[in-house]
Amino acid sequence: MSRFSVVLTLIASFCFANAIWAQASAEPPFDSLVWQDEFNGDLLDYSKWEIEVNAFGGGNHELQIYTDRSKNVRVENGSLILEAHRDHAGVSGTEREYSSGRVRTKRRGDWKYGRVEVRAKLPRGAGIWPAIWMLPTEETYGGWAASGEIDIMEMRGQQPETVLGTLHYGPAWPNNVHTGDSYTLPQGSFADDYHTFAVDWSKGKIEWRVDGHLYQTQTKWNSSAAGFPAPFDQSFHLLLNLAVGGGFVGPVNQETKFPQQMLVDYVRVYQ
C-alpha cells in the first residue's frame, strides 16, 4: 500500500470514529435506571410525588377540581389510580361538578435528558382527558410556554384509539406555538389494556414511542429568550393527571359514565 493510500485510510478511519463518537454523544443509550416507582404497596411515596390540590382545575377551561382525597388519588393493586368523579366536591370554599387527581415529581424527580417511560391504562368517554407530560422545574426562559412543555401522551376520551405527543415552546402565551403528531393503535383502544408511553430526550432531539414503536421525532423548535436547543435544555419534572372537559376535549356528554380511572403501572426514568 502506498504512503498516500495509508494516509487516506487513516483519515477515513478518523472521520468514521468521530462520526460514531458524535452520534453516541448526541444520542445516549439511556440504559441506566435513575428513578422509578412501581407503585407496590398501598401508599403513595411522597418522597417521589406531590398531590396537587387545585380548586380551579388545570386551566384550559377544565371542569374538575383536583383533590388529595384517596377517592381521587391512591395506590391500589400495584397501580397508581387517578379517579374522576361527578360529585360536586369542594376545596377552599369552591365547588365544582367534577373531581379528579393530579400528581407531579417537582423537586422530587427532575431530569435533563433521558428516557421517561410510563405504563398506563387509559379511560374512555367524551370529555375525558388523561395526560402524561413534563414541565420545567425552573422557568428559566419565562412563563408558559416560553420555558417549554413536553407532552409525552394526551388522549381525547372520545377517540380512545389515538394518543398525541406535543411540544409547546416559543414566546410566552398567547404567542406560543406547538408542534406534534399522533399515534393510532392498529386495533382496539388504549382503554382495553396497559400500554407503554415514552420519550427519548437528548440534546436537540426528542423521540416519542408507544409500546416501543417510534412514531415521532422532533429536532426543530425555538425560544424567544435563547438559542437552540432552548427551552428543552433545562431540568423538567413529570406530571400525571386525569382532566374532565376543557378546550382540548370538549364537553362531557350523557354517555360518559363516572367514575373514570387512569391506571399507572409504573414510571421509569433512564439516563
Rounded to 5°, angle at Cα 104 from 100 and 108: 150
Which residue type does 138 have? Answer: E
Q: Name the catalytic one among 149, 161, 207, 255.
A: 149
CA distance 153 to 52: 19
The question of whether 27 is a catalytic residue gets the answer no
Catalytic site residue from 62, 83, 117, 154:
154
- Residue 207 appears among annotated catalytic residues: no
Q: Please measure the distance between the N-terminal and C-terminal CA atoms of the chain and give it in whole angstroms.
A: 44
Separation of alpha carbons 161 and 214, rounded Å: 17
Q: Which residues contact 46 (CB under 8 A, 6 or more apart)?
A: none
* 3 state SS of 54: strand
From the list 178, 186, 195, the residue with the least C-alpha distance to 248 is 178
Give me the active site residues, please.
149, 154
